[in-house]
Amino acid sequence: MRLVNKKDAGLEPFDALWHLLNFFTPAIGIGFVASTLAKLIWRSELQRIGWCRLCGVTIGFAAAVLVAGLVLLGHDGRMATYAAMVAAVALSLWWFGFRPFRS
């Protein structure tokens, strides 16, 4: 057990890394699961798009929404942020796989 001095209450580098990883874990999780399920369910429609690209796009959109939710709402972990994250992932999957007039 590590005792924290009241004068030095800053984050150590390892603690800061854990905070960042825990902040972006929902984005990584939902991006990974959504892109994997989309590739499995709509295999023929998403054949031209690579799984890594699809996963990267969905994780990027989800992470951007998490950061925007933190900035706009002032706190992470709000249900509105998570709902917007799900909508952003769905929109990114639609845009890269099912939008009209795609080439």
The structural domain count of the chain equals: 1
- pLDDT, tens digit, for every residue of 17-76? 999 999 999 999 999 999 999 999 988 888 888 999 999 999 999 999 999 999 999 988
Between 76 and 2, the more confident residue is 76
**Residue 49 in domain:** yes
Range of the domain at 28: 23-97
Q: Quick check: 16 pLDDT over 90?
A: no
pTM, 2 dp:
0.83
The average pLDDT across 73-97 equals 92
Q: Quick check: 1 pLDDT over 60?
A: no
With 0-12 CB in 10 A as exposed, 13-18 as middle and 19+ as buried, what is 14? Answer: exposed
**Residue 7 in domain:** no
